[in-house]
Amino acid sequence: MVVLRPGEEVAGYVIVRALGGGRQGTVYLARHPRLPRGVALKVIHDGFSGDPKTRASFDREVELVSRLDHPNVVAVYDRNGLEDTHLWLSMRYVAGGDLAALLGGAPGGLDPDRAALLIAGTAQALDYAHGQGVLHRDVKPLNILLEHHNGAERPVLTDFGIARALDDTVTASGIVATFAYAAPERFTSANVGHRSDVYSLGCTLFQLLTGYIPYPAKDPAAAIYAHVNEPIPSPRDRCPNLPPYLDAVLTTALAKNPRRPIPHLCSTGHRCRSCAHYDCLRTRPTTADGLEGIPTSPRHRPRSNKLDG
């Protein structure tokens, strides 16, 4: 693995600094060769670039992500050509960090108003992607970036690198998602679909509210067992002052039956947004699925509506 240094170029993009990386590649902040703006440049490591399977997977990733045009999804600008030595992908640069870093400064969890709004915006991104036939498959705080504009913040979902078209089949033998946020069907013979992203979003909401993942485990085997077998935890066991409505939302999102009804992400997002005014929720009933009885009229929506995209 070769890490590019500031000043080096890839297809005319000038490297400014590394933003982060993993086993297959590194993401850099880079200067656009022709436009006065910075971009996030994902460069695949040399050891993978010559592998036909990796190239095919990368091509599929680019094709899928390039379909997506939504304010809560990181936009793709450009990609490598056949003549390029490196496999690379140029994307919109989001400067606000990610939710994992945000949680690092808030070990007890975020304010529930803020957490609800962040999940609502991410739900909008997923609902849009699902409508385009794309699954994310690795929803977690690290893959949700924060964009700040005019005093408001907006979640922006990134790294659809393990996304597949909805008619693809991926089972436990092909799992690549992070164990802490992975739906039970990833560890069984059940096919992965929309509901798996909903489950991962529920795990993320739980962590935003409490500072803890829903199923802490010492090793992957214990994490798998917990996701498949253990009861759904209540965030109020860790944070008693949270509104009861959130238990209903998480019970729906974290249901373990892979044939469970798919919660509609737009509805979930609207109800999460309404949770930012949870004082009124104490006097309103919730149904078994946790998605009814929650006010969604404009007067109950938060004043900062820029998350609507």
> Looking at the annotation, which residues are catalytic?
138
For 53, other C-beta atoms within 10 Å of its C-beta total 8
CA 293, 298, 300, 306 dihedral sign is positive
Handedness of CA 276, 278, 284, 289 (dihedral sign): positive
CA dihedral (221, 222, 227, 231) in degrees, to 10, reads: 150
* DSSP run (H or E) holding 42: strand 38-44
Q: What are phi and psi of 178, to 5 degrees?
A: -70, 130
Phi/psi of residue 9, nearest 5 degrees = -120, 145
Tokens representing 245? 């409505």
